[in-house]
Amino acid sequence: MSPILPNAAKVRVLIVDDSIVVRKILSDTLSASTDPAIEVVSSAHDGKIALAKIPLCNPDLITLDIEMPVMNGLETLVQVRKLYPKLPVIMFSTLTERGAAATLDALSLGASDYATKPSNTGSPAAAIDRVREELIPKIKALCTFDKLPARTRRPEPMSRAAFPKRSRRIDIVAIGTSTGGPNALAEVFPAIPKNFPVPIVTAQHMPPIFTRLLAERLCSHSQISVEEARGGERLSAGHAWIAPGNFHMTVMRDKMDAVLVINQDPPEHSCRPAVDVLFRSVAANFGSGTLAVVMTGMGSDGVEGAKLIREAGGEVIVQDEASSVVWGMPGLTYASGLADAVYPLRQLGQEIVRRVLQSRALAPPLQPRSQAV
> Which mean pLDDT values do the consecutive 10-residue runs of the chain (373 residues) have?
51 94 86 74 95 96 94 96 96 86 95 84 72 87 60 51 71 97 97 97 96 97 97 96 98 90 97 98 96 96 97 96 96 96 97 95 59 39
Give the active site residue among 45, 171, 205, 269.
205
- Do the domains at 7-150 and 172-362 have one common CATH topology? yes
User: Helix/strand/coil (H, E, C) string of 206-267?
Assistant: CCCCHHHHHHHHHHHCCCCEEEECCCCCECCCCEEEECCCCCEEEEEEECCEEEEEEECCCC
Give the active site residue among 17, 65, 301, 320.
301
* Cβ–Cβ under 8 Å, residues 56 and 84: no
pLDDT at 10: 85
In whole angstroms, what is the distance from residue 158 CA to residue 143 CA? 26
pLDDT at 362: 73
Where are any strands of DSSP class E within 137-177?
172-177
pLDDT at 37: 80
> What fold, for 7-150?
Rossmann fold (3.40.50)
* Cβ–Cβ under 8 Å, residues 282 and 201: yes
Q: Name the strands in the sheet holding 172-177, side by side, starting at the edge strand that comes first in the sequence.
A: 225-228, 239-242, 200-204, 172-177, 290-294, 315-319, 341-343
pLDDT at 65: 94
Give the active site residue among 112, 178, 222, 324.
178
Tens-place pLDDT, residues 235-255: 999 999 999 999 999 999 887
* Cβ–Cβ under 8 Å, residues 279 and 174: yes
DSSP per position, 296-319? SBSSSTTHHHHHHHHHTT-EEEEE
pLDDT at 367: 54
The rounded Cα 177 to chain-centroid distance in angstroms is: 4
Is 205 annotated in the active site?
yes
pLDDT at 117: 81
Tens-place pLDDT, residues 76-124: 999 999 999 999 999 988 878 888 999 999 999 999 999 988 766 567 6
* Cβ–Cβ under 8 Å, residues 164 and 313: yes
In whole angstroms, what is the distance from residue 349 CA to residue 355 CA? 10
In whole angstroms, what is the distance from residue 103 CA to residue 112 CA? 11
pTM: 0.89
Query: Is the bond preceding residue 182 a cis peptide, omega within 30 degrees?
Result: no
pLDDT at 370: 42
Considering the domain 172-362 in this protein, what is its CATH number?
3.40.50.180
Locate the domains of the chain by residue range.
7-150, 172-362
pLDDT at 28: 83
